[in-house]
Chains A and B, each alone.
Chain A
């Protein structure tokens, strides 16, 4: 067992636990976006930041990836954490304002302004879909391509994937666009699917059944407006 202190409370957790798990065990709320039980921690969204170490040598780390260590001192809601987290949320809001998940997080953290040039992206590259596809569906049909601002999600070289089984797992876990019915056509590869869903799946006669049960369906809502 590993002993550590979180927000002043001493606790011990099993070897191999993350700081996030330890904090959640104690009931401290830490917002997450790219974290999901059953999937390997990735640390992409940077929402789960916590401050570790003793002053003045403290630093912020993502709790979902940081292993619990003997004697670690953790603060989950220090002013530095909250400040950085708010900025991350503001950046998320500036990119994906239509995501209900992000809106809820923003609301919960009193982020009520967005000072950047507004974008309308449907992907924050959190990698949930990639990990879902690989780790739970054992397919590995999709992944990240490129780096920096050109990083994107999809199949290698936009070639139609033979691994994809239309399971919809990627759609199910997506926090940004909520709906990613993309069939496995290269030109409609993972991101950018939302716009194609006007009443989705069925109307375009690709399927006999509706392929998702998200409520509300953002694409449908947009179409109505």
Chain B
């Protein structure tokens, strides 16, 4: 490499390199950023090299190894030039077909990137939403450059910005340009770079001045600086050299953390090459201007990112901030004027001079010009580095580029700015990302970390995590920062363990504000942000930890116990019966199931099994334990007589009488609970038989009638009187119950009124509300459907109606119409699957627009096609009907199953007592005590919550029994909660083979053929062998809480030994 002696030399070199580089040359580009290296790009490079050499392709195709290109989720990935095809997550065997395809100018179709949201194949890099929606001004260069080759950089126009500045021979012009560009510091505080340079240039020049590149990137989850350092080090050097020329600085320092070995390596190589080429060091490009740069390695203290601490660290002292003023710009390294800018700021400088300051300022918003790189991590589909213009909304970044959540859990918030930043809730996702808006929302831009959090992230835990980080990383000089962060951690830790009090929240807030106010440097002044922002937006979560002792995200261990138990509304110890099954103790297993749940056989069939959704075995790619199938195995096998309920009180005719309206799961469970406590209960049921929705809505093929009947019968004992065919409002009034000798009334009428579509002619003959349709069949055996049947809705009720219709004799075809996509249907996935198997057609993304009828008879329905539009607050894309897309669907029957509500006419105004309702849809209750506004009247189940699940109704019934008991005794209704964690120790069996652990058994079913017309139960029981094997997959989360302490065990054995 010969030294360039003039600006012209450099320009000629660029021209030569540019001309020489054959733009049509075939090339394989492999990302070798740190993330891709971790996922195996080194192997890819090795195999590619071997292939090229062995096949003698050296003259035909070349290989470029680049730094991080940003799409880290897809690593290791390969790009091809000139096709610009993108191959994600490449395996070693894929290399040769890819190389061959490049030679033939083709694509390897099956290896191309597929957009997981639309399923579309993207043959070109620019088609991929992740890249398409970005503006990669700085990061884009990484793809074109091998970071250890300065010629690559120069071929791309590198150092030409420097040439432009030097040839002007006017340092002030350079400073003025940066000022005009409006560039603000990318390290987080957002101070104008141009003004900083101007201040430095005005400092007396006698003793020398310093420029520093702050590459001490320490925020958890942020690595954009690393990508530039590793992938394009020359852009930083060029920026600094331009800065030195403009400000008259004589020395440059890059302060880079020692944890970035690849960055240090690439920087060192780049510095050497730049010096050899004459763009750095003495007499740069023959202009007489001299400037050199040293690398200083940081020893890993987070606080050294703070400028005064960084200066002390460079000087060789403890990295500890000091009072400003004097600011580094007047008194910095060794007392000399010093300007410090972040890596990304420096990398933007060449861009400004390449585009021109005015052009640069056009990108972004006023006062926030240019682009910003964010590292998008956490609960997001497309993890990686994202560069967008300032002012892009968080929603666009998270959903548009990030692709939304990776699983079913909804996104709840993003955390920006690292430990000094705050959390921004999903309802504020239309916030534009710029310095000022984020600060207003209680967070900061910071260096650009963006951690996405979903419902499975506990905000208390997040605050605790950051406080833990900060209490270690505070330098410790300011007493209030050192002790304040420790104390905040201590309080948060207490809350996460269920030891917190509501006063703690006030203290936490008070302390957080005091720490913010009373500390010296930026670390302390922003340390409270994680606490304050979570308190501001997620206070309810804190209260839930403190008052209810529950962590809904199932993160705080002490409040979660075993996730299966924690998610079960009735608190079933699933881990316990699974452990019993594993040991062949089936009767014990039945007891564990029956004790908390009076409907074990029902739940074994129709429960929505929230336990499985959060089973730890199902995390990180595995499959959850088939808990419901195991429950089914036990309830099918064990005689219910094994369970002898504990009667707390001997039957006593003097015990108070309680009235229960409705005999669904909520009513029957409450009656059973009260009966066990000795109360005399009367249940009033409007229909001719008990069971509520279990009988009238759930079809027999899911829940056989004899199973249901047996379970209901077992609950009606001598303390319980059942009165069928007596409906509230028709046969008696609420007032009559209250006036009678009932001590309390529990309303559990459910939600039996189907919501209407709100379209004209909805009452045409042939249109049926789903509940009416199901009741007619399940209670009276009437088949209302015939011919072509349409079902509108996507919930379980819609699927039930569709499957029942299909089984009716005169029905030819059944079509379900739903406005969103299949993934978003609220019905159980296995039910949808079963419906499709049976031959039901599913049409998604349609909105019913008009009911087509003639002479009051249904003829069909006109639908609009929908397109997925913006993201709504739930993070799902809104279905937007397309204008002019109307099309008719001819139908003979239409079943409307969009939702249910309660028929509250029966309680309205009966005898002068007005009960409070929510929108006249459901009864208003205190969810903790089930109290209505009327004394002695309680309500639970669907009538109080709106349509929900069976197990929720059972839980409401259990709660009602407890609360009504307290009420009749005159006790306080609401009592302090305690954490629900496993308490019984069941010794684990012997460990099992790895092989077994992977497979979850599929519950046996009768064939789709044979079930199409019949009402035989579809799902069958597991075999004993399968059940025992499946139980061995349980990870036994309970043991952590129940296993006897080793020390204690030893102690007790030692004590029992005679001395």
Contact = CB atoms under 8 A, between A and B. Distances in A.
B476 A83 contact: no
A61 B513 CA distance: 14
Contact of B471 (A117, A144, A148): A148
Interface in B844-883: none
Nearest to B325: A67
A37 interface: no
B487 A91 contact: yes
A88 B323 CA distance: 19
A70 to B, nearest CB: 12
Given A43-B323, A84-B514, A115-B507, A149 B486 contact: yes
B511 A87 contact: yes
A147 B475 contact: yes
Contacts of B484: 91
Interface in A142-170: 144, 146-151
A127 B478 CA distance: 11
Interface stretch (A1-9, A44-52, A209-217): A44-52
A125 B482 CA distance: 10
A95 B483 contact: yes
B318 interface: yes
Given A66-B323, A147-B303, A148-B482, A84 B476 contact: no
A87 B510 contact: yes
B490 A88 contact: no
Interface string B467-491: 0001111111111101111110010
B479 A44 contact: yes
Contacts of A115: 503, 507
B314 to A, nearest CB: 17
B520 interface: yes
A46 B478 contact: yes
A207 interface: no
B479 A124 contact: yes
B518 interface: yes
A92 B318 CA distance: 24
Contact of B517 (A60, A94, A126): A60
A65 B301 CA distance: 24
B479 A45 contact: yes
A62 interface: yes
Interface string A99-126: 0000000000000000111000000111
Contacts of A65: 322-323, 520
B474 A147 contact: yes
Interface in B485-535: 485-487, 490, 503, 507, 510-511, 513-514, 517-520
Contacts of A125: 476-477, 479, 482
A69 interface: yes
Nearest to A69: B325
A134 interface: no
Nearest to B321: A43
A151 B519 contact: no
B518 A88 contact: yes
Contacts of B477: 42-44, 125, 127
A80 B510 CA distance: 12
Contact of B518 (A60, A116, A147): A60
A149 B479 contact: no
Contacts of A83: 513-514, 517
A46 B478 CA distance: 7
Nearest to B323: A65
Contacts of A44: 477-479
Given A43-B477, A94-B487, A149 B482 contact: yes
Nearest to A86: B514
A148 B479 contact: no
Given A66-B323, A84-B514, A87-B510, A147 B301 contact: yes
Interface centre among A44, A147, A151 (most CB of B within 10 A): A147
A65 B477 CA distance: 13
Contacts of B520: 43, 46, 61-62, 65
Nearest to A143: B318
Interface in B209-232: none
Contacts of B486: 149
Interface residues of A, number: 38
Interface string A45-89: 110010000000001111001110100000000001001110110
B480 A87 contact: yes
B318 A144 contact: yes
Contacts of A92: 479, 483
Nearest to B503: A115
A92 to B, nearest CB: 7
B518 A46 contact: yes
Interface in B166-199: none
Given A65-B323, A66-B323, A148 B476 contact: yes
Interface string B301-321: 101000000000000001100
B325 A91 contact: no
A88 B476 contact: no
B518 A87 contact: yes
B323 to A, nearest CB: 4
A151 B476 contact: yes
Nearest to A47: B479
Given A43-B323, A43-B477, A91 B472 contact: no
Interface in B448-475: 470-475
Contacts of A116: 487, 490
A83 B287 CA distance: 59
B849 to A, nearest CB: 54
Contacts of A95: 483
Contacts of A146: 476
Contacts of A144: 318, 476
Contacts of B485: 148-149
B474 A91 contact: no
B483 A91 contact: yes
Contacts of A69: 325
Contacts of B473: 147-148
B531 to A, nearest CB: 14
B478 to A, nearest CB: 6
Contacts of B490: 116-117
B479 A126 contact: yes
A216 to B, nearest CB: 25
A150 B303 CA distance: 14
Contacts of A124: 479
Contact of A62 (B323, B470, B474): B323
B517 to A, nearest CB: 4
Nearest to A127: B477
B476 A80 contact: no
A21 B478 CA distance: 20
Contacts of B482: 125, 148-149, 151
A106 to B, nearest CB: 14
A85 B490 CA distance: 21
A46 to B, nearest CB: 5
B318 A88 contact: no
Contact of B514 (A66, A88, A94): A88
A115 B487 CA distance: 10
Given A61-B323, A84-B518, 14 more contacts: A42-B477, A46-B518, A46-B520, A49-B517, A49-B518, A65-B322, A80-B517, A83-B514, A83-B517, A84-B514, A87-B511, A124-B479, A125-B476, A149-B476
24 contacts: A44-B479, A46-B479, A46-B519, A49-B518, A61-B323, A61-B520, A62-B520, A65-B323, A66-B325, A67-B326, A69-B325, A80-B517, A83-B517, A91-B483, A115-B503, A115-B507, A124-B479, A127-B477, A147-B319, A147-B476, A148-B475, A148-B485, A150-B472, A151-B476
Interface of B: 301, 303, 318-319, 322-323, 325-326, 470-480, 482-487, 490, 503, 507, 510-511, 513-514, 517-520
Ranked 6 nearest A-B pairs via Cβ: A151-B476, A87-B514, A65-B323, A84-B517, A148-B472, A84-B518
Interface of A: 42-46, 49, 59-62, 65-67, 69, 80, 83-85, 87-88, 91-92, 94-95, 115-117, 124-127, 144, 146-151
